[in-house]
Amino acid sequence: MMMIVIKVSEVPNSKEGLRDRVRRAWRISLDRLYNQEELMAVYKGEILEVYKVLSYGRDQIEEKRVAFELEEIPSELKGKKISYKTANPCTIVDVENLEFV
């Protein structure tokens, strides 16, 4: 299963703050997002939250970026640690290929 990964550099102090942080202003091709249904928020390798992608499109504030409409969903991935070395903060990964630590 493929999933969007958003790496955040700091953790907001609420669930709403985290969702607001990961939902907008990402540099990724809209074409690559086709059929992507889930997104995980990751901080220093820890999966903080998993969301269902309700929709996505051009960010209204930063037009060369992408924004998501997200809904929190239960997931067994939440709280797990992964080794995911990439400099890009917004990528797509095959969950079956993730290295859990």
Mean pLDDT score of the chain: 96
Collapsing DSSP states into helix, strand and coil, what is residue 30?
A: helix
Q: What are the E-state strand segments in the chain?
A: 2-7, 38-43, 46-58, 66-72, 82-83, 90-94, 99-100
* Backbone torsion region of residue 96, taken as left when φ is above 0, otherwise alpha when ψ lies between -120 and 50, otherwise beta: alpha
Return the closest-CA partner of residue 40 out of 101, 1, 32.
1
Chain segment 31-57, per-residue pLDDT in tens: 999 999 999 999 999 999 999 999 999
Chain segment 52-77, per-residue pLDDT in tens: 999 999 999 998 999 999 999 999 99
| Angle (nearest 5°) at CA 6 between 20 and 57 | 65
Residue 74 backbone dihedrals phi, psi, to 5 degrees = -70, 145
pTM, rounded to two decimals: 0.95
Q: How many Å from the N-terminal Cα to the C-terminal Cα in the chain?
A: 19
- Per-residue confidence (pLDDT) for residue 67, from 0 to 100: 98
